[in-house]
Amino acid sequence: VRFLQVAGAVWLPGFGSALSSIGFGAILAFGPLLATERGWNPVWLPFSAFALALVSARLFLGHVPDRLGGARVALVCVLVEAFGLALMWLAPSRGDAALGAALAGFGYSLVYPGLGAEAVGRAPPQSRGLAMGAYTVFLDVALGFGSPALGLIAGWRGIGAVFIASASIVCCAAA
pLDDT digits (tens, 9 = 90+) for 50-89: 999 999 999 999 999 999 999 999 999 999 999 999 999 9
Q: Name the pTM for this structure.
A: 0.94
- Residues with Cβ within 8 Å of residue 45, at least 6 apart in sequence: 35, 94, 97, 98, 101
pLDDT digits (tens, 9 = 90+) for 6-47: 989 999 999 999 999 999 999 999 999 999 999 999 999 999
